[in-house]
Amino acid sequence: MKLSFELSKKGRKAYSLPSVDIPIGTTSLPKEYLRKNLPRLPELSEPDVIRHFTNLSNLNYHIERGMYPLGSCTMKYNPKVNEELVRLDGLANLHPLQSEQTVQGALTILYELQNYLSEISGMDEVSLQPVAGAHSEFTALLIIRKYFEKKGEHRTKILVSDSSHGTNPASSTLAGLKPVQVKSDTNGLIELKSLSELMNKEIACVMLTVPNTLGLFEQQIEEIAKIVHKSGGILYLDGANLNAFLGIVKPRALGFDIMHFNLHKTFATPHGTGGPGGGGIGVTRKLANFLPVPRIIKKMQNAKCKMQNYELSYNFPDSIGRIHGFYGNFGVSVKAYAYIKMLGNLGIQEVSENAILNANYLMSELKKYYELPYEGPCMHEFVLSGDRQAKRGVKTLNIAKRLLDYGFHPPTIYFPLIVHEALMIEPTETENIETLNEFRDALIKIDEETRNNPEVVKSAPHNTPVRRIDEAQAARDLDVNFYK
């Protein structure tokens, strides 16, 4: 497909602007910042522009074309009504530097969303300031670090599972804490013996993803909480997999002291391609004073008519301070608010029930053809292994590439690291039985090909706009200077 520069023809344009009424050369900008030559931009008509970018969009895989079975990412279809709501003039045209009295509606949405997340999680206080999952982790660890500093305890280490998301040890290091790995047992769950041996007064917190990245619920979570709390540590929930138990159980009831939300994964903002993201931190009472500022507080404006007034307060001396220029990614919070309001209590629970049902159905259908490293029911996602196919000379990467030929985005591969030739699949609650069966049939067909025609898999994809590329070379030899 040609670049817009290659389609350019001198004199064509896709706009109509009034004549400039300022004398040429009149400017208040310093001379060193002025162009010496006009920018070399493509000249195209409006149909040229529209067709070019429409054709480009058709080259991409997106949720409107098919499912995204990316394990650990919760790439579900999101209701388009949320996109309409967030574009309402009264929300889209707000400015973050407006007076608080002129944005009472926006503050109401944020305040009520915090309360909804508190109800869902069981946590006492919630902040929506973090703008992504990893940013939430970093914020949570700063809170934990300050909590122990306030107590006069010098704790320098964080325990993370060997199946954890890579952001867990990365966030720990960034927060000035040393990550230490906890082993999984033969069932894919935290090994209690290893946890007990590692737990001491140096450990500030244990970071857990529940369900873990194998899609398995930590059945001994109450015992884990006792071990952590006995040593005075904090139990932290990586909320990336919250889609698995919305409305079913509250993290606080499991023994967690602090957690983060991924609004862009769990509560309906399209995820992927770099954003937009939305985080959130939920804490128990003992950690609330350390939440970032500003915090949204509600005040009675007029006792007689019971009008509420919301304001951004900085009056929290123990706070870790500001972590973002403004109050989180507002648009993402609006979508999460609308999503929760539309679903209600029962709908929120059905999200998780359907996600669990879809995952277990696919797992039971595919384990006949691919290795299942950990037997038993899964939650919202599951992990297969391509070891059988690898013995035939076809690696998991090849299987993922071949899936593109069948019209499906591949699942997450080679993660978690504790599974050899891993295929991590999360069908989400938004996919119907017909789509699940089509995806199942594609993977079964590929398994058959690995036995009867392995070369067709090893040389895939064959039907995509771009054939197989050398990913390593692309990373090492990045060339974006395509127009000279």
Residue pLDDT, tens place only, 212-253: 999 999 999 999 999 999 999 999 999 999 999 999 999 999
| Stretch 123-150: mean pLDDT | 96
Domain boundary at 322, 342, 362, which?
A: 342
Q: Is the same domain home to 258 and 402?
A: no
| Stretch 154-167: mean pLDDT | 94
Residue pLDDT, tens place only, 392-449: 999 999 999 999 999 999 999 999 999 999 999 999 999 999 999 999 999 999 999 9
User: Which CATH number fits the domain that encloses residue 211?
Assistant: 3.40.640.10
Residue pLDDT, tens place only, 325-341: 888 899 999 999 999 99
| Stretch 275-292: mean pLDDT | 93
Q: Give CA separation, 104 vs 99, 157, 301, 387, in Å.
A: 9, 42, 12, 57
Q: Is the same domain home to 130 and 245?
A: yes
pLDDT at 103: 94
Asked whether 322 and 292 are in contact (CB, 8 A), the reply is: yes
Length of the chain: 484
In a domain, 73, yes or no: no
Q: Is the same domain home to 271 and 136?
A: yes
Alpha-helix runs per DSSP H in 367-409? 387-390, 396-405
In a domain, 75, yes or no: no
Residue pLDDT, tens place only, 14-29: 988 888 787 777 778 8
Q: Is the same domain home to 229 and 178?
A: yes
CA 295, CA 396: separation in Å to the nearest integer? Answer: 47
In a domain, 149, yes or no: yes
The structural domain count of the chain equals 3
Task: State how beta strands 125-127 and 422-425 pair.
Answer: unpaired
Judged on CB neighbours under 10 Å (0-12, 13-18, 19+), 484 is exposed
pLDDT at 402: 97
Residue pLDDT, tens place only, 76-93: 998 999 999 999 999 999
Is 67 a residue whose pLDDT tops 60?
yes
Is 387 a residue whose pLDDT tops 80?
yes
Q: Is the same domain home to 358 and 330?
A: no
CA 419, CA 413: separation in Å to the nearest integer? Answer: 10
Indicate the pLDDT class of residue 484, thresholds 50, 70 and 90: very low
Judged on CB neighbours under 10 Å (0-12, 13-18, 19+), 228 is buried
Alpha-helix runs per DSSP H in 396-480? 396-405, 433-452, 454-458, 471-476
User: Which CATH number fits the domain that encloses residue 363?
Assistant: 3.90.1150.10
| Stretch 319-324: mean pLDDT | 95
How many of the other CB atoms lie within 10 Å of CB of 289?
17
pLDDT at 274: 57
pLDDT at 28: 81
| Stretch 361-386: mean pLDDT | 97
Q: Is the same domain home to 315 and 444?
A: no
Q: Which helix (H) or strand (E) holds 157?
A: strand 157-161
CA dihedral 264, 270, 273, 277 (to 10 degrees): -20
In a domain, 376, yes or no: yes
Indicate the pLDDT class of residue 302, thresholds 50, 70 and 90: low
Better-scored residue on pLDDT, 276 or 10: 10
Q: Is the same domain home to 336 and 228?
A: yes
Q: Is the same domain home to 140 and 279?
A: yes
- Say which residues have a Cβ less than 8 Å from residue 131's Cβ, sequence separation at least 6: 277, 278, 279, 324, 328, 329
Give the number of C-alpha atoms closer than 13 A to the C-alpha of residue 350, restricted to the C-beta side.
8
Domain boundary at 318, 342, 366, which?
A: 342
Indicate the pLDDT class of residue 482, thresholds 50, 70 and 90: very low
Is 480 a residue whose pLDDT tops 70?
no
Indicate the pLDDT class of residue 35, thresholds 50, 70 and 90: confident
Q: Is the same domain home to 406 and 283?
A: no
In a domain, 72, yes or no: no
Percent of the chain at pLDDT > 90 equals 79
Is the sign of the CA dihedral 217, 218, 221, 223 positive or negative? positive
Indicate the pLDDT class of residue 64, thresholds 50, 70 and 90: confident
Among 211, 221, 244, 277, residue whose Cα is nearest residue 416: 211
Q: Give CA separation, 416 vs 9, 18, 24, 80, 184, in Å.
A: 51, 58, 61, 32, 12
Q: Is the same domain home to 382 and 437?
A: yes
Q: Which domain holds residue 170?
A: 81-342
In a domain, 27, yes or no: no
CA 86, CA 103: separation in Å to the nearest integer? Answer: 15
| Stretch 121-150: mean pLDDT | 96
CA dihedral 398, 403, 405, 409 (to 10 degrees): -120
Percent of the chain at pLDDT > 70 equals 96
Phi, psi of 219 (to 5 degrees): -65, -20
Q: Is the same domain home to 317 and 183?
A: yes
Domain boundary at 342, 367, 382, which?
A: 342
Q: Is the same domain home to 11 and 148?
A: no
